[in-house]
Each structure stands twice: as structure tokens, then as C-alpha cells.
Homo-oligomer: A and B are copies of this chain.
């Protein structure tokens, strides 16, 4: 059940443990439990379940989805290490989204009732930082979705993902793509075919080099330019 402690976790610099000292990390472990590894397709939580915990991604990647009344699903977002999961459950104690592992992944969880204790342990700031980041990310994605040109939406997504990877200490140009093209197209508000064409076009013009599970950004500046003002 227990994963390695925070001290040896590669994510501990960007999660709730950010800035804590060795001793404090041990104390934190009383509130924050790291879950067992989950494999692709497993659910962290499902829409409709009571929401007593929030989660921080420790390794791997997750997606969050909502299901409309008529049954079609929408991919709300992708979540990489150090990012929060399950905030929407805070509204009324019930999850309104579902969270699914995209690959073998782990997540740490803390009870919403323990938030005051997290604060007294010195993790309050980190928690707020994560909430703020989530909000910024939402804003960025909305901005992206509001652009009508498909090229701009894809470019914007890649630029944003690059920034998130850099914050993790990873390369901002060699981007992991653990999600399916179908999921990504859904998330970006376009059809699978359209996304495929855009990626193909980007590849042919040398902007990126795409494989199924990774996209290497060859021309970051050109991509950023596309993201910024291809539209209007």
C-alpha cells in the first residue's frame, strides 16, 4: 500500500511537500497517503461517489472526464505529477467528474477534513499554490478553446504542456503524450480527423516530430507564434 516516502519522491519539490524540511516531510506523511500504483484505465474516483479526499499526482498521468446526460463524454483535462485532482468534489462533497489513469501511475491523497492540519505542518502555501496553478491552467485552456483555428488550439496545448513539463524539471520540448489522439481531440474541442491533420501538417512543416506517445517540439518559437496569434 505504501509507496516510498516523500523524501525520495521525485515530485516532492512541486507538490504539497514543497519547501518542507526532512523532519516535516515525515510529519506530512500522517496526512498524505500515497496510493498503490494504478494501471491504465483504473479509476481514482468516479462521478457520483462521495468526495472525501483530494489527490496529488505522484507519477504517471491521469485524465478527468465528465459524462453528459445523453451519454457522451468530455475530457476535462490531463494531470501530470504535482497537479491536483478532485477539487470539484469540494463544492458539495460529491465528485462530478471521474479521474482515470492514462498509464501506470500513482497519486497521493489527503482528506479534505485534514486541510487545517496540512496548514499547521507548513503545507498550506503549497496547497494554495497548487489551487492557483489549477486555476491558471483552466484559464489557459479556456483561452485555447475559444480560438477558432484548430492549428492555434493544438499549438497552444503543446506550448502549455511544455511549460508544465519544465516546471517538473523535464524537457519542455520532448513532450509525453500518454493520452490517445481521441482523448486529445475531445479535450481540444475538435474531431479526431482534424487533430490528425493538424499534427500531420505540423510534422511536415518541421514544427514538431510526432510519434504515438511523444511529441518533440522542433521549433518552439514558431509554435508559440501560432498559439498566440494565428487567430484574430
Contact = CB atoms under 8 A, between A and B. Distances in A.
Contacts of A212: none
Contacts of A120: 116
A141 B139 contact: no
B70 A228 contact: yes
A72 B135 contact: no
Chief secondary structure at chain A's binding surface: helix
A5 B121 CA distance: 33
Contact of A70 (B116, B134, B229): B229
B189 A87 contact: no
A89 interface: yes
A132 interface: yes
B115 A66 contact: no
Nearest to A91: B132
A116 B125 CA distance: 10
Contacts of A129: 90-92
B146 A189 contact: yes
A87 B132 contact: yes
A27 interface: no
Interface string A143-184: 101111000000000000000000000000000000000000
B68 A132 contact: no
Nearest to A94: B132
A1 B1 CA distance: 55
A23 interface: no
A132 B92 CA distance: 8
A133 B228 contact: no
B88 A139 contact: yes
A139 B66 contact: yes
A69 B133 CA distance: 20
Given A128-B112, A135-B87, A136-B88, A66 B96 contact: no
20 contacts: A66-B139, A69-B228, A69-B229, A72-B229, A74-B142, A76-B139, A87-B132, A90-B129, A91-B129, A96-B136, A115-B124, A116-B119, A116-B120, A116-B124, A134-B135, A141-B142, A142-B142, A145-B189, A146-B188, A147-B189
